[in-house]
């Protein structure tokens, strides 16, 4: 009986630790606002490369933020923009502006596994997730590229829909920054996200290069962040449907 | 170094920061296996150059401009090289100012004055609320929106938006040319399929009055709703038949535009299975030959993996029937099941399908299109439209206009 109580107690502690690590990690890398220019390089199975550039701006606290993403290149998608309003208790509201149609369209991704503009990132992969939306288990500690990491398993709570059965996260112990994610569908490893370049920007440890590998399709997408700035004074009016129309 | 060069060097980075541009040149060929009663041609070639730019004059004031230059092999485009800033003629202008407007923004207010695009609808396959959005229907199944000369003031706060539009100068939709394949017997509702050779297309009679409208939009918790009121003219024409007997017997068809009052609403409700969108409006008119009717569309949209599906029904309920002759593709598409599916095959390739099926089975239109981008600039689209049905049906009457299209585009 005592043994069973100990096991249950230890299990709760480990789970709490894992949750705490994730919560601390999110807190440490939070900002009131953020702005950057990004480059997406999509590599197909034959090694062919397709590149997209965009501008991103976000305001608001984690899980309750508003963001605008606007493509700058290539010319085929230039001007296409996405407005996302995140809510802590429900799915985000999303609108897409297409310059050719001259209108915004409400979009709702019932299936968030949909690829983000043809890349290996799904819309779900780019979502902000509140720490309370998943349960966490500390699987142990493991070195990754010579860096000591916490290895944590994240399973979405039943109230949250997700394409992944579980996600294993490697969080660097020294800076509490996630550096690798492995996504599983049932027991199959389907995607691996590697934070390839990590640097301090304005005193915040930030990932400046991500690589998402689709292990089923054998394709990969590299996402590079440039001109990253935190706590920029961005007006609220820049995150509205009218701002989408104005092209801001 | 001269003073001018120094000034230019100073200004150029600022210009670059505040200036954006995009555009394309597209060449397109449409091939029709069958001739039409009023058109023996089987191929149409088009070239279109579009250039769009925006320049931020100050942090709150922006200039938007766009220009189109085009020509074709089928005399659908004017042969005169003049810059048309109104886009109100029966033919497409060779050079037109597509957009020319100033946008100002201060806090919750946005104002736009000049030639601009105004889209109010929420649905994707038919938009009864788009009263300030005339279209080019020279090809009835491949249309394009036209800008209008207007002033627009928008107030947006939280989830509430109020939009006021005043359009002092009317812009009509461009209807099919009478003596070409989408005109003739084709585009006319009513029984004018066999036109005598002496039928002429007259000039359109454009209304001089102003149009205005107001739209309220509300973004709520898990839904979005809008209400619209419009007072003005319908941008789709009624047809007036004038008969003259001297010096010879002649029928002349003239487009004219009914007065229109429209009140309607729209909603978009995303849920975990699909997004429901509905849009409808009641159209009434004091013009003697115009109908009063309620038009609506209900659609469900779902994204599944790389597929996007949209399916719905467009309906109409006529309360006062007066009209005999018009060109009304919006009404022509009602009492129909409408659908669209598209698939992103990979970052470079997409396929899309559209379909409209009349509920009585009298007409059907199916379109498929494959688009491929070779690189960041070059792309190609290959598509085909199949139209079948009874000659008395809006869709069916274009039964000889099934066609395939190839379009090459260079975007910049």
pLDDT over 60 (residue B123)? yes
Beta-carbon separation of A118 and B277 below 8 A: no
User: Which of B161, B302, B373 lies nearest to residue A110, judging by beta carbons?
Assistant: B302
Q: pLDDT by residue (tens digit) across A143-171?
A: 998 999 999 999 998 877 788 999 999 99
pLDDT score of B302: 92
Q: pLDDT by residue (tens digit) across B71-85?
A: 999 999 999 889 999
Beta-carbon separation of A114 and B305 below 8 A: yes
Q: pLDDT by residue (tens digit) across A2-47?
A: 544 444 444 444 555 899 999 988 888 778 899 999 999 999 888 7
User: Residue A247: its chain B contacts at CB < 8 A?
Assistant: 20, 54, 62
User: Which of B270, B305, B411 lies nearest to residue A106, judging by beta carbons?
Assistant: B270
pLDDT over 70 (residue B2)? no
List the structure tokens of B364: 């059907």
Residues 227-256 of B with CB under 8 A from A: none
User: Which of A51, A110, A118 lies nearest to residue B272, judging by beta carbons?
Assistant: A110
pLDDT score of B186: 42
Distance in Å, alpha carbon of B268 to nearest chain A alpha carbon: 7
- The residue in chain A having the minimum alpha-carbon distance to the alpha carbon of residue B378 is A76
Distance CA A232, CA B17 (A): 18
User: Which of B108, B268, B379 lies nearest to residue A106, judging by beta carbons?
Assistant: B268
Beta-carbon separation of A118 and B305 below 8 A: no
Task: Note whether A10 contacts B: Cβ–Cβ < 8 A.
Answer: no
Give the list of residues 6+ apart from residue A79 with CB closer than 8 angstroms, or none. A70, A71, A97, A99, A247, B22
User: Residue B344: its chain A contacts at CB < 8 A?
Assistant: 115, 118
Considering Cα of A93, then A97, then A98, then A103, what sign does the dihedral take?
positive
Beta-carbon separation of A237 and B108 below 8 A: yes
Q: How many CB pairs under 8 A join A and B?
A: 105
Q: What percentage of chain A reaches a pLDDT higher than 70?
A: 94
Task: Note whether B18 contacts A: Cβ–Cβ < 8 A.
Answer: no
Average pLDDT, chain B: 90
Distance in Å, alpha carbon of B1 to nearest chain A alpha carbon: 33
Distance CA B238, CA B233 (A): 11
Sorted by where each starts, the structural domains of chain A and their CATH numbers stand as 2-246 (2.50.20.10)
**Per-residue confidence at B187, pLDDT binned at 50, 70, 90?**
very low
Domain range list for chain B = 20-411
pLDDT score of A111: 75
Instruction: Classify A70 as helix, strand or coil.
Output: strand
Q: Are B154 and B163 in contact (CB under 8 A)?
A: yes
Q: Which of A108, A163, A214 should we substitute to test contact with B (largest number of B Cβ atoms within 10 Å)? A: A108
Q: pLDDT by residue (tens digit) across B279-323?
A: 999 999 999 999 999 999 999 999 888 899 999 999 999 999 987
Give the list of residues 6+ apart from residue A225 with CB closer than 8 angstroms, or none. A36, A37, A38, A206, A207, A208, A209
User: Residue B121: its chain A contacts at CB < 8 A?
Assistant: 103
Q: Which of A53, A233, A246, A248 should we substitute to test contact with B (largest number of B Cβ atoms within 10 Å)? A: A246
B20-411 CATH, one of 2.40.160.10, 3.40.50.1700, 3.40.50.10070, 1.10.1740.10: 2.40.160.10
Q: Are A197 and A206 in contact (CB under 8 A)?
A: no
Beta-carbon separation of B222 and A90 below 8 A: yes
pLDDT over 70 (residue B16)? no
Distance CA B120, CA B129 (A): 6
Average pLDDT, chain A: 87
Predicted ipTM beyond 0.90: no
| Least confident window among A22-36, A145-159, A223-237, B140-154 | A22-36
Task: Extract long-range pairs of B352-361: CB within 8 Å, 24+ residues apart.
Answer: B356/B395, B358/B389, B358/B393, B358/B395, B358/B396, B359/B313, B359/B335, B360/B335
Considering Cα of B329, then B333, then B334, then B339, what sign does the dihedral take?
negative
pLDDT score of B194: 52
pLDDT score of A115: 85
Task: Note whether A217 contacts B: Cβ–Cβ < 8 A.
Answer: no
Q: pLDDT by residue (tens digit) across B163-184?
A: 999 999 999 999 999 888 898 6
pLDDT score of B195: 52
List the structure tokens of B319: 């309360």
- Does residue B94 or residue A12 have the better pLDDT? B94
pLDDT score of B188: 47
């Amino acid at each position: 009986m005592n043994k069973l109580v100990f096991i249950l107690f230890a299990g709760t502690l480990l789970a709490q630790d894992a949750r705490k690590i994730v919560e601390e990690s999110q807190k440490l890398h939070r900002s009131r606002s953020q702005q950057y220019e990004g480059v997406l390089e999509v590599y197909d199975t034959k090694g062919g490369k397709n590149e997209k550039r965009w501008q991103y701006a976000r305001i608001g606290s984690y899980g309750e933020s508003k963001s605008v993403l606007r493509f700058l290149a290539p010319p085929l998608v230039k001007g296409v923009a996405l407005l996302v309003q995140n809510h802590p208790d429900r799915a985000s509201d999303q609108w897409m502006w297409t310059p050719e149609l001259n209108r915004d369209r409400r979009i709702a991704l019932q299936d968030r596994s949909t690829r983000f503009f043809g890349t290996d990132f799904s819309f779900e992969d780019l979502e902000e997730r509140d720490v309370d939306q998943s349960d966490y288990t500390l699987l142990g500690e493991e070195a990754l590229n010579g860096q000591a990491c916490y290895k944590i398993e994240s399973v979405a709570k039943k109230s949250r829909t997700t394409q992944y059965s579980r996600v294993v996260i490697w969080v660097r112990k020294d800076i509490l920054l996630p550096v690798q994610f492995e996504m599983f569908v049932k027991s199959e490893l389907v995607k691996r996200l590697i934070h390839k370049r990590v640097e301090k920007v304005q005193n915040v440890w930030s990932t400046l290069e991500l690589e998402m590998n689709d292990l089923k399709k054998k394709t990969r997408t590299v996402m590079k962040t440039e001109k990253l700035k935190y706590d920029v004074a961005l007006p609220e009016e820049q995150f509205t449907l009218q701002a989408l129309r104005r092209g801001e | 170094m001269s003073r001018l060069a120094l000034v230019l060097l100073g200004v150029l980075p600022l210009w670059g920061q505040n200036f954006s541009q995009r555009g394309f040149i597209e060449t397109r060929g449409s091939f029709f296996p069958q001739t039409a009663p009023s058109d023996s041609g089987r191929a149409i070639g088009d070239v279109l150059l579009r250039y769009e730019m925006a320049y931020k004059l100050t942090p709150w004031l922006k200039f938007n401009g766009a220009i189109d230059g085009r020509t074709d092999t089928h005399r659908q485009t004017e042969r005169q090289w003049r810059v048309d800033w109104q886009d109100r003629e029966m033919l497409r202008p060779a050079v037109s100012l597509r957009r020319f407007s100033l946008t100002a923004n201060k806090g919750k207010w946005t104002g736009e004055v000049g030639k601009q695009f105004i889209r109010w609808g929420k649905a994707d396959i038919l938009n009864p609320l788009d009263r300030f959005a005339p279209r080019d229907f020279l090809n009835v199944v491949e249309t394009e929106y036209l800008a209008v000369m207007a002033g627009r003031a928008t107030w947006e706060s939280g989830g509430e938006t109020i939009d006021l539009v005043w359009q002092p100068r009317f812009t009509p939709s461009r209807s099919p040319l009478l003596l070409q394949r989408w005109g003739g017997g084709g585009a006319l509702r009513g029984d004018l399929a066999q036109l005598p050779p002496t039928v002429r297309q007259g000039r359109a009679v454009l209304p001089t009055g102003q149009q205005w409208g107001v739209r309220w939009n509300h973004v709520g918790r898990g839904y979005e709703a809008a209400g619209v009121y419009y007072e003005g003219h319908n941008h789709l024409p009624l047809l007036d038949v004038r008969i003259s007997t001297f010096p010879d017997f002649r029928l002349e068809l003239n487009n004219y535009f009914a007065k229109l009052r429209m009140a309607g609403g729209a909603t978009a409700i995303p849920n975990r299975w699909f997004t429901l969108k509905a849009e409808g409006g009641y159209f009434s008119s004091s013009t003697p030959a115009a109908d009063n009717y309620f038009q609506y569309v209900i659609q469900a949209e779902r994204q599944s993996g790389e597929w996007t599906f949209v399916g719905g029904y467009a309906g109409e309920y006529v309360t006062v029937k007066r009209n005999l002759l018009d060109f009304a593709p919006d009404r022509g598409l009602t009492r129909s099941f409408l659908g669209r599916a598209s698939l992103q095959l990979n970052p470079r390739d997409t396929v899309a399908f559209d379909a409209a099926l009349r509920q009585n089975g009298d007409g059907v239109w199916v379109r498929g299109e494959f688009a491929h981008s070779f690189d960041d600039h070059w792309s190609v689209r290959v598509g085909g439209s199949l139209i079948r049905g009874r000659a008395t049906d809006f869709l069916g009457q274009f039964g000889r206009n099934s066609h395939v299209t190839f379009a090459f585009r260079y975007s910049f």
